Amino acid sequence: MSSESFDGRYSANAKPIQQGEMRNTESHKLVADYDEMRGTRAIEIAGGGNYIKIIDSLRREGLLDKERERVRHAYALDKIPFLTKKDDEMFTILDLYDAETAKHCLETYKIAQEKMEVEILPGMTIKRLLQEGDGISLEQFYRACLFHDIGKVEIPRLVIQHEMGDGAMLGCLHRVYHDLYVSQKIPKSLGLTENPTNAALTEALEIHRVRPIYLVPAREVLSEEGLTELKCFGFSGDETLMAIIMEHERVSGNILKAAGFPIEAELAAHHHNYNREPLQYPTAIDALHISVDFADILHMADVTEAVSSLGRKYRKVFSMPKTMRTIVEHVEDGKISPFMAYLWLTDELRKYENKLRESGDTLDDNNDEKDLAFVYPFLEKEGRCVESQADATIRK
């Protein structure tokens, strides 16, 4: 996945990202080098929509072991020490389903791994907290990062790979808005009337950070053939593309739980936390009276990889400040805790400022300036809270 926050840059002339554009040059090379080696029949099976049936069919046709060896080499999975044969098979199916999604999951794992060295307190890194806490092991957390999107294999490829940008989707919303309003499918929180101007609709979406993909029914953007495929997967054309995509989080949990990974399932099933549900495995920092939710770290790693990468579906290319702003927006929306976001963003801002100094570049992008102006007040406010809690602890 990917971040689902509104990007705030609609344009009537926006063009959807074209098929074949990749997130970054490394991804491009990876997929270019190995795409021809991926078996056509194996790819066909992986699009079947049921994880258990996919793995059974690949085994029955003698394709699973061959593809597993290819994937281990392509993604250097042998460098991840905790992976078992079962993990390799799971990642193989993810790659056969969609190589971009597999790459995204691997990069999300690497980002989360890097953040393990961030200090919560002097001498107390996130990694050490995880190792000394109860409930979640480092291996379980890393596995959840690597397979947080495994549930996408039960979502039609045509939905995951859909390439209509926000601008074009907004045009669809303008066209069907009245029908959606009459059928009470336009959230009242947007404060819109029955016949708003295009400008009023666009402004309301921007203010409330709601992307059109959350509102436009799939039938408005998919062909008849696509709608038939949706039905085969148990979805309806009346559902929005985002509602269908959101199902992957629940399915990821189900697949991991069935594979014998209940804690990983819990983390993966809440990496977007669409329903704002409390998790079962927080780790407490008693000294600061703070509870660390490791699904928050997975969420921010996912967002960082998704928003900052090139060629992301539905998106333009965004900078590090845009990624940081998105994380603050997710805090405001109640998706992640302010404390963990503060730690994450403080580290990201330090790296960003170091990069500017080393390169000799200046902050001359107006959008970057606006995004950072949005982030700084959050960091200042949350920083005061952390300092206050630390001071109170010292006084005790």
CA–CA gap between residue 112 and residue 136 (Å, rounded): 15
Q: Give percent of the chain with pLDDT exceeding 70.
A: 77
Report the range of poorest mean pLDDT among 147-156, 162-171, 173-182, 252-261: 162-171
Residue 229 lies in a domain: yes
- Nearest 5°: CA angle at 105, between 99 and 107? 100
CA–CA gap between residue 325 and residue 317 (Å, rounded): 14
- pLDDT score of 37: 60
pLDDT band at 340 (very low <50, low <70, confident <90, very high): confident
Nearest to 241 by CA among 149, 317, 313: 313
Residue 38 lies in a domain: no
**Which structure tokens are listed for 42?**
């194996």
pLDDT band at 388 (very low <50, low <70, confident <90, very high): low
Is the pLDDT assigned to residue 21 strictly greater than 50? Answer: no
The per-residue pLDDT for range 280-325, each reduced to its tens digit, is 655 555 555 556 678 889 999 999 998 877 544 444 445 788 899 9
φ/ψ of residue 237, rounded to 5: -65, -15
Residue 232 lies in a domain: yes
Residue 204 lies in a domain: yes
Of 260 and 387, more confident: 260
pLDDT band at 33 (very low <50, low <70, confident <90, very high): very low
Is the pLDDT assigned to residue 9 strictly greater than 50? Answer: no
CA–CA gap between residue 12 and residue 171 (Å, rounded): 7
Distance of CA 135 to the CA centre of its chain: 24
* DSSP type of residue 240: B
Nearest to 126 by CA among 347, 380, 390: 347
Is the pLDDT assigned to residue 378 strictly greater than 80? Answer: yes
Number of domains, the chain = 1
Letter string b/e over residues 277-288, b meaning 16 or more CB atoms within 10 A of that residue's CB = eebebbbebeeb
- pLDDT score of 307: 80
Q: Are 348 and 301 in contact (CB under 8 A)?
A: no
- pLDDT score of 275: 59
pLDDT band at 336 (very low <50, low <70, confident <90, very high): confident
Residue 84 lies in a domain: no
CA–CA gap between residue 319 and residue 323 (Å, rounded): 7
3-class state of residue 177 by DSSP: helix
Residue 55 lies in a domain: no
- pLDDT score of 23: 34
The per-residue pLDDT for range 46-102, each reduced to its tens digit, is 999 999 999 999 999 999 999 999 999 999 999 999 999 999 999 999 999 999 999
pLDDT band at 1 (very low <50, low <70, confident <90, very high): very low
- pLDDT score of 337: 85
Q: In this structure, which amino acid lies at residue 325? A: R
- pLDDT score of 163: 77
207's CB contacts (< 8 A; 6+ apart) are none
The per-residue pLDDT for range 170-193, each reduced to its tens digit, is 999 999 999 999 999 999 999 999
Of 75 and 360, more confident: 75
Residue 180 lies in a domain: yes
Of 34 and 274, more confident: 274
Report the range of poorest mean pLDDT among 97-106, 226-235, 256-265, 358-367: 358-367
- pLDDT score of 353: 87
Mean of pLDDT values over 214-238: 94
pLDDT band at 146 (very low <50, low <70, confident <90, very high): very high
Q: Are 267 and 298 in contact (CB under 8 A)?
A: yes
Residue 218 lies in a domain: yes
Letter string b/e over residues 200-230, b meaning 16 or more CB atoms within 10 A of that residue's CB = ebbebbeeebbbbbbbbbbbbbbeeebeebb
Is the pLDDT assigned to residue 333 strictly greater than 70? Answer: yes
202: containing domain: 161-248
Q: Give percent of the chain with pLDDT exceeding 90.
A: 56
pTM: 0.82
pLDDT band at 363 (very low <50, low <70, confident <90, very high): low
